[in-house]
């Protein structure tokens, strides 16, 4: 396992509708050429229209309230033999059990130790989402983050710089699968007293080990929402945990009719993923936008190791819990 860190400290500001934009001083605006403005417009259009380059230089935004947390690269790869073990498990292992936890364990336990090394090359939406985790800069040292369906806790590796710089007071990685939770427990030992792994259900609002309602700055779902049968219940729990103004951040597989993906292709991917109890739907993103204030998002298609011609849809999304929202929402 190797991790090469990159510096950040990028700062965001917001418009009245919740979108993040670059904030320059008046003098700097005068210096911009028409070509600069045209280039920025083109880059926004290419990225999908709703996602802009939100993380900008601190010198340009000294008065901004929100910052992107320092991001760390996380690259871990299996060798060919280990990848073949993972593929064998994914495609040929028998999935058994009636309870959701038993189903997860039967699927992941044979591949748990090699999980991160293979999936780091197919989870294309996770790094950009992690680069866009924004928090109130005045809360440095007090940030509370919960990763629901956090698996092995590998998302925490992307925040190793932020952890080392003292941004967080508490990080909770919750997952229902015992074999993945065990690896997360070992990973959490790198940051004793800050990071902890909890074996539990993302939908359970009474789960022991979760922070109090209305206390979290960030709640993330990294490639987990599609595997949660009661996904709306999981989102309701996330909103319950968030403080007003906190960020709900999600990345996952999806279908993309808005990107011109053929109906037959959408159905093909739904059937392929459903074999492993992964249920793709474009309703997830629509629902997220209805219960949070949209800030940043992007989507696209990504390949898989050894099958580069097959590309599945992905998205990432950052939304804000409204400032006037109930601390403990019901009926989401």
Q: Which residues of the chain have pLDDT under 50?
A: 1-54, 56-63, 330-332
pLDDT of residue 131: 97
What is the Cα 131 distance to its own chain's centre? 10
Residues 6+ apart with CB under 8 A from 324: 244
Query: Which H or E run contains 235?
Result: helix 231-241
The model scores a pTM over 0.85: no
pLDDT of residue 295: 97
Helix (H, G, I), strand (E, B) or coil at 287: helix
Distance CA 291, CA 332 (A): 8
How does pLDDT run across 62-94, given as a tens digit for each residue?
Answer: 445 889 999 999 988 888 998 888 888 877 777
Residues 6+ apart with CB under 8 A from 179: 105, 108, 109, 112
How does pLDDT run across 131-160, given as a tens digit for each residue?
Answer: 999 999 999 999 999 999 999 999 999 999
Q: What DSSP designation does 231 have?
A: H
pLDDT of residue 95: 81
pLDDT of residue 24: 39
């Amino acid at each position: 396992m190797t991790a090469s860190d990159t510096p950040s400290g990028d700062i965001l500001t917001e418009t009245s509708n919740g979108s993040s934009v670059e904030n320059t001083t008046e003098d700097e605006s005068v210096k911009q050429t028409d070509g600069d403005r045209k280039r920025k417009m083109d880059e926004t259009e290419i990225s999908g229209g709703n996602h802009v380059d939100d993380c900008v230089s601190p010198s340009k935004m000294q008065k901004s309230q929100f910052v992107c947390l320092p991001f760390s690269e996380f690259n871990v790869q299996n060798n060919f033999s280990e990848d073949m073990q993972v593929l064998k498990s994914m495609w040929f292992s028998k999935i058994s059990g009636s309870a959701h936890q038993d189903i997860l364990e039967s699927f992941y336990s044979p591949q748990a130790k090699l999980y991160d090394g293979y999936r780091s090359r197919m989870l294309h939406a996770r790094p950009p989402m992690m680069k866009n985790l924004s928090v109130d800069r005045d809360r440095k040292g007090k940030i509370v983050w919960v990763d629901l369906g956090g698996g092995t806790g590998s998302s925490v590796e992307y925040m190793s710089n932020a952890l080392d710089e003292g941004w967080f007071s508490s990080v909770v990685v919750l997952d229902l699968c015992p074999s993945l939770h065990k690896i997360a427990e070992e990973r959490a030992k790198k940051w004793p007293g800050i990071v902890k792994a909890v074996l539990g259900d993302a939908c359970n609002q009474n789960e022991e080990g979760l922070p109090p309602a209305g206390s979290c700055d960030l709640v993330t779902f990294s490639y987990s929402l599609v595997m949660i049968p009661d996904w709306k219940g999981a989102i309701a729990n996330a909103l319950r945990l968030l403080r007003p103004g906190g960020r709900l951040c999600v990345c996952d597989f999806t279908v993309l009719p808005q990107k011109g993906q053929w109906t037959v292709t959408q159905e093909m991917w739904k059937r392929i993923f459903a074999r492993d109890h992964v249920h793709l739907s474009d309703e997830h993103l629509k629902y997220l936008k209805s219960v949070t204030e949209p800030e940043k998002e992007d989507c696209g298609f990504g390949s898989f190791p050894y099958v580069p011609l097959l590309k599945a849809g992905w998205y990432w999304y950052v939304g804000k819990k409204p400032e006037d929202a109930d601390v403990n929402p019901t009926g989401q």
